[in-house]
Amino acid sequence: MPLKNILKNEALNGTVTSDDILGKDVIDIDGGFIGVIEKIHLTSQVEVTGITIDRGFFKKGLYIGQGYIKRVTPYALFLNIKPSFLLKGLPVFDVQGSRIGIVSSVVLSEETNKLQSIIVRSQAKSATIKADLIESIGDGIFLNKKKQDLEAG
């Protein structure tokens, strides 16, 4: 079939090409820049299943499933989540603002973004804190309990 006939039958308005989006920024729901789009993954029926993000030197690439993509624009791709792996390295505070430690790793539910627990390192000790003890997440993580209650529990 000649190319012009194919084009005539397809509604191209509102679509983007792979050239348009490869190399574009990936922005999470909090406005954080995660990296740039490196690959687009398709099924054999040409449906997008997700993207791979290049996060720069010395950082592992990241696959994000299509369900976590909010929208694509000519300049960037927006996610509808803040990837939980980004919590690594954040400071953790109790409900009163007392510093508990730093997130050394995160435990997710299978291959989703759902947080199960965080491992918090403080000096030589490390502790597992379940996700239901987290009050809020921003540039730090606030828990909903006092430090002494966590130690007792």
Partner 1 sequence: MEQWSKEKNLLDNTINLREVIGVEVLSKRGISIGKVEQVRTNPDSLNAAGIIVRRGFFKKAVYFSVDYVDKFSLQGIILTIEPAFLLKGKKVVSADGKVLGKAAQVTRENNTNDLKTIIIKSLFRKPAEIPAEDIDHIGASIVLKEDYVATEKYTKK
Q: Which residues bind partner 1 (CB under 8 A)?
A: 24-25, 27-33, 73-78, 90-91, 93-99, 136, 138-142, 147
Residue closer to partner 1, measured from CB, 109 or 122: 122
DSSP secondary structure letters along 73-109:
-SSEEEESS--GGGGTT-EEE-TTS-EEEEEEEEEES
Residue closer to partner 1, measured from CB, 48 or 90: 90
CB of 41 to partner 1, least distance (A): 21
Cα separations (Å) of 90 from 22, 68, 102, 105? Answer: 30, 22, 6, 10
- Do strands 91-93 and 141-143 pair parallel, antiparallel, or not at all (unpaired)? parallel
CB of 89 to partner 1, least distance (A): 12
The order of strands in the sheet holding 76-79 is: 62-65, 48-54, 33-42, 25-27, 76-79, 69-72
CB of 140 to partner 1, least distance (A): 2
The DSSP symbol for 150 reads H
Residue closer to partner 1, measured from CB, 93 or 101: 93
Residue closer to partner 1, measured from CB, 16 or 109: 16
CB of 121 to partner 1, least distance (A): 17
